[in-house]
Amino acid sequence: MSLNLEPSPSLYNTGSSTYRPPPRTREVMINGQMVKLKYCFTCKMFRPPRTSHCSVCDNCVERFDHHCPWVGNCVGRRNYRFFYAFILSLSFLTAFIFACVVTHLTLRSQGSNFLSTLKETPASVLELVICFFSIWSILGLSGFHTYLVASNLTTNEDIKGSWSSKRGGEASINPYSHKSVITNCCAVLCGPLPPSLIDRRGFVQSDTVLPSPVRSDEPACGAKPDASMCVRGLKDLLRTAALCLSRSGLRGARHPAPPPA
């Protein structure tokens, strides 16, 4: 499937510079399903399928899932598997710590009162409370993303209801699903990692070349003279001093002083 993502030449060919043309769309066929591509006025291109513009990062992200404020980055095509592994390992860690704290308090309370054990270990009680309230949100987030991986969906598509009846219309079939849970998991988590589209070693080419400033011999009012002007002035001063000394020497040779009496 080849997509021409270059904007039309007449897109910005308007008389007024402040005029913004209406949004333009382009339809492509993906696995028998018609998908609309929207034009991004910020990035100046038609967005590829499953691409959305992040207002925080200010660029288009391919297979945009969401912008995570906890990691400070967008979750997309190249880092979704690492984000899923992160929340999955975090849920296992929280459950493991919660089980260890409960076991620790249970063993220490044997042969004594349970309330006195809680008073003796306030740090364990605090850790137990934190793990108890955080494990539900972390497990819920892991379960939600497990459902997305099994269905080959993104958070953005699930919230907007792109392939469901959440918008009030007829439910459409997800063209990116492989109709198998195992195949979807392998495609999302174990598929080949695409190369980065950002050339971090490339040089930024300037759009316009600024003309070189015209230099004058005399500095402007309030401007500091450069080194070449200082050297030129010093040469002129030495040349004038040498000329004065030579003239005084010639005058002394023409009119010698009278001998002493």
Answer whether residue 190 shows pLDDT above 50: yes
Pull the structure tokens for residue 175. 């063209």
E strands along the chain, which residues? Answer: 25-30, 33-40, 45-46, 52-54, 59-61, 66-68, 73-75
pLDDT on residue 78: 92
Q: How confident is the model at residue 41 (pLDDT cuts 50, 70, 90)?
A: confident
pLDDT on residue 24: 82
pLDDT on residue 10: 47
Q: How confident is the model at residue 191 (pLDDT cuts 50, 70, 90)?
A: confident
Which residues are 52's β-sheet partners? Answer: 61
Q: How confident is the model at residue 187 (pLDDT cuts 50, 70, 90)?
A: very high
- Interhelix angle 80-108/181-189, rounded to 10 degrees, is 100
pLDDT on residue 21: 66
Q: Is the full-model pTM beyond 0.85?
A: no
The mean pLDDT value of the chain amounts to 79
Answer whether residue 12 shows pLDDT above 60: no
The per-residue pLDDT for range 67-83, each reduced to its tens digit, is 999 888 999 999 999 99
Q: 64 with 76: CB under 8 angstroms? A: yes
The per-residue pLDDT for range 22-36, each reduced to its tens digit, is 568 888 888 888 888
Q: Beta strand pairing status for 33-40 and 59-61?
A: unpaired
The verdict on whether 68 is a catalytic residue reads yes
| Rounded Cα gap, residues 103 and 124, in angstroms | 11
Q: Which one is catalytic: 43, 68, 100, 185?
A: 68
Q: What is the mean pLDDT of residues 183-208?
A: 79
* CA dihedral for 77, 79, 82, 83, sign (positive or negative): negative
Q: Beta strand pairing status for 33-40 and 25-30?
A: antiparallel
Residue with tokens 């070693």: 201
Residues 6+ apart with CB under 8 A from 59: 42, 43, 53
pLDDT on residue 115: 83
Answer whether residue 103 shows pLDDT above 60: yes
Q: How confident is the model at residue 121 (pLDDT cuts 50, 70, 90)?
A: confident
Q: What is the mean pLDDT of residues 102-112?
A: 86
| Rounded Cα gap, residues 189 and 139, in angstroms | 19
Region class of 73: left (phi > 0), else alpha (psi between -120 and 50), else beta: beta
Nearest alpha-carbon partner for 57 in 71, 46, 42, 67 = 67
- Provide the 8-state DSSP code for 217: S
What is the amino acid identity at position 117? T
Q: Which residue has the higher pLDDT, 148 or 212?
A: 148
